[in-house]
Amino acid sequence: MKAVVITALGGPEVLQLQEVDDPQIKDDEVLVKVEATALNRADTLQRIGKHPPPKGASPYPGLECSGTIEAVGKLVSRWKVGDQVCALLGGGAYAEKVAVPAGQVLPVPPGISLKDAAAFPEVACTVWSTVFMMSRLSAGETFLVTSDLALYLDVCWYTAIYVYRSDAVLLSSEEKLAACKELGADVCINYKTEDFVARVKEETGGKGVDVILDCIGASYFQRNLDSLNFDGRLFIIGFMGGAVTN
Protein backbone atom coordinates (compact mmCIF):
# COMPACT_ATOMS: atom_id res chain seq x y z
CA MET A 1 0.00 0.00 0.00
CA LYS A 2 0.97 3.68 -0.14
CA ALA A 3 1.49 5.81 2.95
CA VAL A 4 2.72 9.30 3.76
CA VAL A 5 6.11 8.75 5.41
CA ILE A 6 8.02 11.24 7.57
CA THR A 7 11.45 10.82 5.97
CA ALA A 8 13.20 13.25 8.34
CA LEU A 9 12.23 15.84 10.93
CA GLY A 10 11.32 19.17 9.38
CA GLY A 11 8.79 21.05 7.30
CA PRO A 12 6.08 19.69 5.00
CA GLU A 13 8.71 18.81 2.40
CA VAL A 14 9.83 15.83 4.53
CA LEU A 15 6.50 14.10 3.90
CA GLN A 16 6.74 11.64 1.02
CA LEU A 17 4.27 9.17 -0.45
CA GLN A 18 5.95 5.77 -0.44
CA GLU A 19 5.18 2.09 -0.89
CA VAL A 20 5.06 0.35 2.50
CA ASP A 21 3.90 -2.99 3.87
CA ASP A 22 0.20 -3.51 4.55
CA PRO A 23 -0.64 -3.47 8.28
CA GLN A 24 -1.30 -6.82 9.96
CA ILE A 25 -4.32 -6.86 12.25
CA LYS A 26 -4.41 -8.45 15.69
CA ASP A 27 -7.31 -10.59 16.94
CA ASP A 28 -9.07 -7.56 18.44
CA GLU A 29 -8.51 -5.23 15.48
CA VAL A 30 -10.09 -4.41 12.14
CA LEU A 31 -8.43 -3.40 8.90
CA VAL A 32 -9.86 -0.19 7.44
CA LYS A 33 -9.40 0.88 3.83
CA VAL A 34 -9.01 4.62 4.31
CA GLU A 35 -11.38 6.92 2.45
CA ALA A 36 -10.28 10.17 4.12
CA THR A 37 -8.27 11.47 7.02
CA ALA A 38 -7.98 14.81 8.85
CA LEU A 39 -5.15 17.17 9.68
CA ASN A 40 -4.59 17.65 13.42
CA ARG A 41 -1.98 19.69 15.24
CA ALA A 42 -0.45 16.49 16.60
CA ASP A 43 0.38 15.48 13.02
CA THR A 44 2.41 18.65 12.46
CA LEU A 45 4.16 18.18 15.80
CA GLN A 46 5.00 14.58 14.96
CA ARG A 47 6.57 15.79 11.70
CA ILE A 48 9.03 17.98 13.65
CA GLY A 49 9.72 15.39 16.36
CA LYS A 50 7.64 16.82 19.20
CA HIS A 51 4.80 14.29 19.26
CA PRO A 52 6.04 10.73 18.79
CA PRO A 53 3.36 8.06 18.23
CA PRO A 54 2.47 5.79 21.17
CA LYS A 55 4.49 2.61 21.56
CA GLY A 56 3.25 0.01 19.10
CA ALA A 57 1.28 2.49 16.98
CA SER A 58 1.85 3.08 13.28
CA PRO A 59 4.81 5.39 12.54
CA TYR A 60 2.77 7.24 9.93
CA PRO A 61 0.81 10.38 10.90
CA GLY A 62 -2.96 10.57 11.18
CA LEU A 63 -5.09 10.38 14.32
CA GLU A 64 -8.46 9.79 12.69
CA CYS A 65 -9.91 8.42 9.51
CA SER A 66 -13.00 7.16 7.75
CA GLY A 67 -13.30 4.22 5.43
CA THR A 68 -14.56 0.69 4.84
CA ILE A 69 -13.66 -2.39 6.86
CA GLU A 70 -11.72 -4.92 4.78
CA ALA A 71 -10.95 -7.53 7.44
CA VAL A 72 -11.78 -8.29 11.08
CA GLY A 73 -9.82 -10.07 13.79
CA LYS A 74 -10.94 -13.34 15.38
CA LEU A 75 -12.26 -11.65 18.52
CA VAL A 76 -14.22 -8.91 16.75
CA SER A 77 -17.99 -9.43 16.69
CA ARG A 78 -19.48 -5.93 16.36
CA TRP A 79 -18.00 -5.10 12.97
CA LYS A 80 -18.03 -6.93 9.66
CA VAL A 81 -16.35 -6.61 6.28
CA GLY A 82 -18.00 -3.85 4.26
CA ASP A 83 -19.05 -1.65 7.19
CA GLN A 84 -18.44 2.05 6.65
CA VAL A 85 -16.84 3.50 9.76
CA CYS A 86 -14.67 6.21 11.23
CA ALA A 87 -11.94 5.60 13.77
CA LEU A 88 -9.73 7.21 16.41
CA LEU A 89 -6.10 6.18 15.99
CA GLY A 90 -2.71 6.34 17.66
CA GLY A 91 -1.40 7.06 14.16
CA GLY A 92 -1.42 5.66 10.66
CA ALA A 93 -4.34 7.38 8.93
CA TYR A 94 -2.09 8.92 6.26
CA ALA A 95 -2.14 5.60 4.45
CA GLU A 96 -4.36 3.52 2.20
CA LYS A 97 -5.05 1.05 5.00
CA VAL A 98 -4.78 1.09 8.79
CA ALA A 99 -5.22 -1.47 11.57
CA VAL A 100 -7.51 -0.21 14.34
CA PRO A 101 -8.54 -1.72 17.71
CA ALA A 102 -12.23 -2.56 17.41
CA GLY A 103 -13.06 -0.43 20.45
CA GLN A 104 -11.80 2.69 18.68
CA VAL A 105 -14.08 2.26 15.68
CA LEU A 106 -17.32 4.25 15.35
CA PRO A 107 -20.24 4.11 12.94
CA VAL A 108 -20.52 7.01 10.53
CA PRO A 109 -23.17 9.35 12.02
CA PRO A 110 -26.43 9.65 10.07
CA GLY A 111 -26.38 12.50 7.59
CA ILE A 112 -22.57 12.73 7.60
CA SER A 113 -20.69 11.78 4.43
CA LEU A 114 -17.88 9.26 4.63
CA LYS A 115 -15.34 11.97 3.84
CA ASP A 116 -16.69 14.40 6.43
CA ALA A 117 -16.70 11.60 9.01
CA ALA A 118 -12.91 11.57 8.89
CA ALA A 119 -12.90 14.61 11.21
CA PHE A 120 -15.45 13.15 13.60
CA PRO A 121 -13.52 10.94 16.06
CA GLU A 122 -10.74 13.37 17.11
CA VAL A 123 -11.91 16.89 16.23
CA ALA A 124 -15.68 16.85 16.58
CA CYS A 125 -15.86 14.40 19.49
CA THR A 126 -13.31 16.42 21.47
CA VAL A 127 -15.44 19.52 21.08
CA TRP A 128 -18.68 17.71 21.79
CA SER A 129 -17.46 15.93 24.92
CA THR A 130 -15.84 19.07 26.32
CA VAL A 131 -18.48 21.65 25.50
CA PHE A 132 -21.68 19.67 25.86
CA MET A 133 -20.98 16.65 28.07
CA MET A 134 -18.58 18.29 30.53
CA SER A 135 -19.61 21.95 30.52
CA ARG A 136 -23.29 21.18 29.80
CA LEU A 137 -23.60 24.19 27.53
CA SER A 138 -27.31 24.81 26.98
CA ALA A 139 -29.66 27.01 25.01
CA GLY A 140 -29.47 30.65 26.00
CA GLU A 141 -25.86 30.50 27.21
CA THR A 142 -22.98 32.22 25.45
CA PHE A 143 -19.95 30.35 24.14
CA LEU A 144 -16.54 31.67 23.10
CA VAL A 145 -14.09 29.72 20.95
CA THR A 146 -10.58 31.19 21.08
CA SER A 147 -7.81 30.98 18.50
CA ASP A 148 -7.58 29.38 15.08
CA LEU A 149 -9.16 26.21 16.41
CA ALA A 150 -12.33 27.36 14.70
CA LEU A 151 -10.49 27.43 11.38
CA TYR A 152 -11.19 23.70 11.17
CA LEU A 153 -14.86 24.70 10.95
CA ASP A 154 -16.02 21.65 12.90
CA VAL A 155 -16.22 23.91 15.95
CA CYS A 156 -18.23 26.55 14.13
CA TRP A 157 -20.49 23.92 12.64
CA TYR A 158 -21.32 22.35 15.97
CA THR A 159 -21.82 25.62 17.82
CA ALA A 160 -23.96 27.02 15.04
CA ILE A 161 -26.21 23.98 15.01
CA TYR A 162 -26.42 23.10 18.70
CA VAL A 163 -25.88 26.27 20.68
CA TYR A 164 -28.88 27.98 19.16
CA ARG A 165 -26.70 30.73 17.66
CA SER A 166 -25.32 31.94 20.97
CA ASP A 167 -21.65 31.56 20.11
CA ALA A 168 -18.74 33.91 19.53
CA VAL A 169 -15.57 33.07 17.64
CA LEU A 170 -12.10 34.56 18.11
CA LEU A 171 -9.84 34.42 15.05
CA SER A 172 -6.86 36.18 13.50
CA SER A 173 -8.00 37.16 10.00
CA GLU A 174 -11.04 38.64 8.33
CA GLU A 175 -11.28 35.67 5.95
CA LYS A 176 -11.57 33.22 8.83
CA LEU A 177 -14.10 35.43 10.57
CA ALA A 178 -16.22 35.61 7.42
CA ALA A 179 -16.21 31.81 7.10
CA CYS A 180 -17.36 31.38 10.69
CA LYS A 181 -20.01 34.07 10.29
CA GLU A 182 -21.38 32.24 7.28
CA LEU A 183 -21.61 29.06 9.33
CA GLY A 184 -23.68 30.79 12.00
CA ALA A 185 -21.41 32.41 14.59
CA ASP A 186 -23.16 35.45 16.04
CA VAL A 187 -20.08 37.45 16.99
CA CYS A 188 -16.67 37.25 15.30
CA ILE A 189 -13.68 38.98 16.92
CA ASN A 190 -10.29 39.57 15.33
CA TYR A 191 -7.91 39.25 18.28
CA LYS A 192 -5.10 40.94 16.34
CA THR A 193 -7.03 44.19 15.96
CA GLU A 194 -9.46 44.15 18.90
CA ASP A 195 -9.37 43.78 22.68
CA PHE A 196 -11.40 40.61 22.85
CA VAL A 197 -12.15 40.94 26.59
CA ALA A 198 -13.70 44.36 26.04
CA ARG A 199 -15.63 43.13 23.02
CA VAL A 200 -16.94 40.10 24.91
CA LYS A 201 -18.16 42.31 27.74
CA GLU A 202 -19.76 44.67 25.24
CA GLU A 203 -21.58 41.88 23.44
CA THR A 204 -22.82 40.29 26.69
CA GLY A 205 -23.93 43.44 28.46
CA GLY A 206 -20.97 43.32 30.82
CA LYS A 207 -21.66 39.79 32.02
CA GLY A 208 -19.08 37.77 30.09
CA VAL A 209 -19.56 34.40 28.42
CA ASP A 210 -20.74 31.20 30.06
CA VAL A 211 -18.31 28.77 28.41
CA ILE A 212 -14.89 29.24 26.80
CA LEU A 213 -13.14 26.58 24.73
CA ASP A 214 -9.46 27.52 24.53
CA CYS A 215 -6.43 25.86 22.94
CA ILE A 216 -3.93 28.67 23.57
CA GLY A 217 -3.28 28.14 27.27
CA ALA A 218 -1.01 30.35 29.37
CA SER A 219 -0.89 33.48 27.23
CA TYR A 220 -4.70 33.72 27.20
CA PHE A 221 -5.38 32.47 30.71
CA GLN A 222 -6.03 35.76 32.49
CA ARG A 223 -7.95 37.24 29.58
CA ASN A 224 -10.11 34.14 29.47
CA LEU A 225 -10.86 34.49 33.18
CA ASP A 226 -11.71 38.16 32.63
CA SER A 227 -14.11 37.17 29.84
CA LEU A 228 -16.14 34.69 31.92
CA ASN A 229 -19.57 35.23 33.38
CA PHE A 230 -20.29 34.42 37.03
CA ASP A 231 -20.12 30.61 37.33
CA GLY A 232 -18.63 30.49 33.82
CA ARG A 233 -16.60 27.46 32.71
CA LEU A 234 -13.19 27.56 31.04
CA PHE A 235 -11.93 24.49 29.20
CA ILE A 236 -8.32 24.47 27.99
CA ILE A 237 -7.66 21.75 25.41
CA GLY A 238 -4.31 22.94 24.06
CA PHE A 239 -1.22 24.95 24.94
CA MET A 240 -0.19 26.74 21.76
CA GLY A 241 0.60 29.79 23.91
CA GLY A 242 2.40 27.92 26.67
CA ALA A 243 1.43 25.75 29.63
CA VAL A 244 2.75 27.84 32.54
CA THR A 245 1.36 31.19 33.70
CA ASN A 246 3.38 33.80 35.59
Residue type, 239: F
Long-range Cβ pairs for the range 196-202 (8 Å, 24+): 196/146, 196/170, 196/223, 196/227, 197/223, 197/226, 197/227, 200/144, 200/168, 200/227, 201/227
pLDDT confidence band for 167 (50 / 70 / 90): low
Domains along the sequence of the chain with CATH:
2-121 (3.90.180.10), 135-236 (3.40.50.720)
Q: What is the rounded end-to-end Cα distance, in angstroms, of the chain?
A: 49
Cβ atoms within 10 Å, residue 153: 16
Q: Decide: 99 and 92 in contact? Cβ < 8 Å.
A: yes
Kindly report, residue by residue over 30-65, the tens digit of the pLDDT.
999 999 999 988 999 999 999 999 998 999 999 999
Which pTM does this prediction carry?
A: 0.75
Backbone φ, ψ for residue 196 (5° rounding):
-70, -25
User: How many separate helices (H) and strands (E) can be counted in the chain?
Assistant: 6, 12
